Structure formats: C-alpha cells, structure tokens
Amino acid sequence: MEFEKNILCIGAGYVGGPTLAMIAYKCPQYKVTVVDINPERIARWNSDNLPIYEPGLDEIVKAVRGRNLFFSTDIERGIREADIIFVSVNTPTKTFGAGAGMAADLQYWEKTARQIRQYAESPKIIVEKSTLPVKTAHAMERMLQATNNHVHFEVLSNPEFLAEGTAIRDLEYPDRVLIGSRETPSGLKARQELVEIYANWVPRERIITSNLWSSELSKLVANAFLAQRISSINSITSLCEKTDADITEVARAVGTDSRIGDKFLNASVGFGGSCFKKDILNLVYICRYYGLEEVADYWEGVVKINDYQKERFVLNMLTAMFNTLAGKRICIFGFAFKANTGDTRESPAMFVCKLLLEERAELVISDPKALENAKEDLKGAQGKISYVEDPYEAVAGCDAIAVLTEWDIYRQLDFKKIYGSMDKPCFIFDGRNILDHRGLFEIGFNVFPIGKPPLTHLK
C-alpha cells in the first residue's frame, strides 16, 4: 500500500512510543516509524511485553503494529525516508559542568540533530516533542544548517502534555495541541502540515498555534503551574497538622471557587515523575541565565517545598514511632510516582525509602507494577529490603505501613486481616490520604494522614 506521508519519531520512550502509536492508530494513511538507539527497547516494542505500562496502549499497538506502525533501530533509513521527524529523546537534568543539577542536558538532543543532518537528503519538518529550554529550536536550526545547505529543514515545537497513567486518553482527547513555528511562509506552511495531521482526530479549535518561543516556553510553564498547585496545597498540610484543620476540607472549600478550580489539589507526600522537577529547575536556570533572580527564586520555591514535604513525612514517622525506626519493619504500599504506571522516576517513594534506610528501618516494598524499577532504583542502597507484590504477604510482621502511591487496590484491602498479621502497636502513614482513616482507627491502627489530625490509641 502507498502511504501519503512517512512520519518518523526518534526516541521510543514514554512520550514517543504512545504518541506515535496514537498517530498511527488515527491516521492509517501515514506510515509511522519509531526508532531508538536502544535495541532492547525496540525489541520490547515489537513483542507482547511492551517496555512501558499504560492502560489502553497494548490494544492500540496491537491494532496497528505491522500495518502502519513500525519499531526499528535503523535510524539512518528512518531519517532518509521521513517527511516529518518527531524528536522525543530524553533531556534529563545535567549532572556535570555548568548548570549541573539545574539545566537540561542537551547532548542527546544535539546528537540527534547531527544524525538528521548527516542522513537527510530531502526537505524535512523537524518536530520538537521533548521538553526543551526556550530557544532550543534556534540552536537546532543552526546545527541542521551548518553543513547541509542544500536541504531545507523547518523546525516546529509541539510539546506533549500527556500525563502517565492516562496517556492514551490524553492523546485521544487532548485539552489542546500546541504547535509553534517560525512565522515565515515556510514556517507557516510546515505548521499547517502538522495541524492537518492532528486534525484527523482533534477538533480544530483545540489545536493552538503560536510562535516557536511561546510554544517551547509554554510547556515549561504549564508543568511549573501544575507542580506549583501541588506545592501550594502541600505547604498548607503542615499548617493543618498544627492547627487541627483538615486539608481535604480546606482543598474542597478553596477548589469550589471556579477561578481556582478543584483539580490538582490532592495533598500528598510530594510530587514525582520525570518532568516536574526537571522542568522547573530548567525554568529556574533559564531565569538566572537572563539575570531574573527574583523570578528564579519564586519558582525554585516549588521544588523546595516538595523536598520539605518528603522529609517531613519521614520525620513524622520517626516522631510517631517513638523516635526510633532502627530494626523496625516498614511496609511500603506503592513505589510508582503515581497510580496506574510502573514508572518510578523521581518517585517520592524512592526519597522516602532512602531516608528510612538511613534510619536503619527494614523495608518491605509492595507495588502492583513498579517492583522491577524499584529494585533497579535501590540497587546500591544499604540496608535490608525485600520486594513482595502481594500486599497481605508484604505487611505480615511489619510495624507500620506507609502508603506512597494512590493505587486503587489499597483502598479495597481487608485491613482487619492486615491488622491481625502485623506487630503491635500498628501504624499507618497515609501519604496520599486515600484510606478510610476513621475505619482504620476503629480496627486498632494508629493513623497518620497528611494534613489532618492523627487518630491514635497511644496515650
């Protein structure tokens, strides 16, 4: 069959894989190829055991793989054949040199630009999917044009707003698709070409266009605002705990103001995920680069509150459990950075577990999807750790449970049975406020929610 267009994506990660699978699913007229330097990842995309867990993803991949969706390691061929190239390689926080711990590490990004330049023989539209510092497109243009003068490249910015766990729904029914371009005739033409791809399933009024820099910056700002809401509500939890106010009641009262809105106001042990911290630090770094110290400090506060919240959680555990955790067995309910994903990048659980190990607690980690990653993350950690998927088995003989991911299964457990199998006194620290605290207290647990008065039997 003849395809109308060849679309390539470089980087088969959490963003590239699902996004391009959706394009292939909605647009049978295009041939979509996803390439990656990691052959194991590609092998898994071509198997029944996909490299990422995302509700609904298996069905979509099965429906289109081999029809118009292909996974490959042949980057060179992919580039040669493509009309449009999405770039979705990782852009982690730099760990070395200037801007270490803050700025985005653009080495993979630049390497990809060089590969495109080397192999491209016909005009290409390059689409930035990865989250990047504002003005990266300009660097990309210069890199692409440095030697390959006879081939025209048009760089677009099309940041991805999907959240993990709901990636398929977010891709199918996005709040908006954002496309930034140069406002030149060729830039506008390329922009229109990308609009037409999304218009195969996204209503036109949801496809927003802008200049390149607004688009690049909007992605950083959207993530910063979302994270800021969580830090705002979390900052109030400590005050609630001091004053007998209840954070759930405060969040409801505040969130019913339609100007504020009720989403993203769930108090927690802290936000995690591969994006929030990285993108805010990137924003902070850019502000400092331009000499905007006050602006940088303001946004840095969002990350500081998040670190404070995670430390505070462990300190609360320590204080509640008579100021010593040494030798105590603590069961961790949930290691993923949020429910419905196996992803553990920047998971608050990792941070909490490391602090608990420093206190010489023994850990039994349970999670329905993230144990493989948890083992990897805690590989070098000192201390006694075991990994048990079944929550009933995991809690047996433990002194305390810490709920760190809001998995539904934890709401439905038989806590009477659990209480019976634990050491006494029993503690529950609900880092997500998802359990029935009163019910647990009545069973006999000492219950420590976030931002609410504790319920305890201890005098």
User: Which of 33, 130, 306, 366 lies at the binding interface for ligand UDX (CB under 6 A)?
Assistant: 130
400-439 binders of ligand UDX (CB under 6 A): none
Between 32 and 426, CB nearer to ligand UDX: 32
- Asked if 164 interacts with ligand UDX (CB under 6 A), we say yes
Binders in 50-89 for ligand UDX, by CB under 6 A = 88-89
By CB under 6 A, residue 367 contacts ligand UDX:
no
- As measured in angstroms, the least distance from the Cβ of 422 to ligand UDX is 26
Residue, CB closest to ligand UDX:
13
Residue 161 binds to ligand UDX (criterion: CB under 6 A): yes
Of 9, 275, 331, 353, which is the active-site residue? Answer: 275
Contact 198, 177 (CB under 8 A): yes
Pairwise CA distance, residues 369 & 389, whole Å: 9
In the complex with ligand UDX, the residue whose CB is nearer, 362 or 451, is 451
Q: Are strands 362-366 and 329-333 parallel, antiparallel or unpaired?
A: parallel
Using the minimum distance from each CB to ligand UDX, give the nearer residue, 180 or 362. Answer: 180
Q: Taking the complex as a whole, how short is the minimal distance between the CB of residue 234 and ligand UDX, in angstroms?
A: 7
| Cα–Cα distance, 328 to 377 (Å, whole number) | 22
For ligand UDX, give the closer residue by CB, 76 or 183. 76
Binding residues with ligand UDX: total (CB under 6 A): 41
Q: Is 226 in the site for ligand UDX (CB under 6 A)?
A: yes
Q: Directed axis angle between helix 276-289 and helix 212-243, to 10°?
A: 110
Q: Which is nearer to ligand UDX, 67 or 111 (CB)?
A: 111
Q: Does 45 bind ligand UDX (CB under 6 A)?
A: no
**From the CB of 12, what's the least distance to ligand UDX, in Å?**
5
Region from 139-147, 196-204, 265-273, 382-390 binding ligand UDX, contact rule CB under 6 A: 265-273
The verdict on 308 binding ligand UDX (CB under 6 A) reads no
Query: Residue 405 Cβ, how far from ligand UDX at the closest point, in Å?
Result: 8
Among 13, 368, 391, 449, binds ligand UDX (CB under 6 A): 13
275 as an active site residue: the answer is: yes
For residue 268, state whether it binds ligand UDX (rule: CB under 6 A): yes
Binding segment toward ligand UDX, per CB under 6 A, in 199-207, 263-271, 290-298, 324-332: 263-271
> Should residue 271 be labelled a site residue for ligand UDX when binding is judged by CB under 6 A?
yes
**Contact between 342 and ligand UDX per CB under 6 A:** no
3-state secondary structure the chain: CCCCEEEEEECCCCCHHHHHHHHHHHCCCEEEEEECCCHHHHHHHCCCCCCCCCCCHHHHHHHHECCCEEEECCHHHHHHHCCEEEECCCCCECCCCCCCCCCECCHHHHHHHHHHHHHCCCCEEEEECCCCCCCHHHHHHHHHHCCCCCCCEEEEECCCCCCCCCHHHHHHCCCCEEEEECCCHHHHHHHHHHHHHHCCCCCHHHEEEEEHHHHHHHHHHHHHHHHHHHHHHHHHHHHHHHHCCCHHHHHHHHHCCCCCCCCCCCCCCCCCCCCHHHHHHHHHHHHHHCCCHHHHHHHHHHHHHHHHHHHHHHHHHHHHCCCCCCCCEEEEECCCCCCCCCCCCCCHHHHHHHHHHHCCCEEEEECCCCHHHHHHHCCCCCCCEEECCCHHHHHCCCCEEEECCCCHHHCCCCHHHHHHHCCCCCEEEECCCCCCHHHHHHHCCEEECCCCCCECCCC
In the complex, the smallest distance separating the C-beta of residue 417 from ligand UDX, rounded to whole angstroms, is: 27
Shortest Å distance, C-beta 239 to ligand UDX: 17
By CB under 6 A, tell whether 399 contacts ligand UDX.
no
Q: Which residue has the tokens 């079944």?
A: 390
**Of 90, 148, 238, 456, which one interacts with ligand UDX (CB under 6 A)?**
90
User: Footprint of ligand UDX on this chain (CB under 6 A)?
Assistant: 10-16, 36-38, 41, 88-91, 108, 111-112, 129-131, 160-164, 223, 226, 230, 264-266, 268, 271-276, 337-338
Instruction: Enumerate the active-site residues.
Output: 275
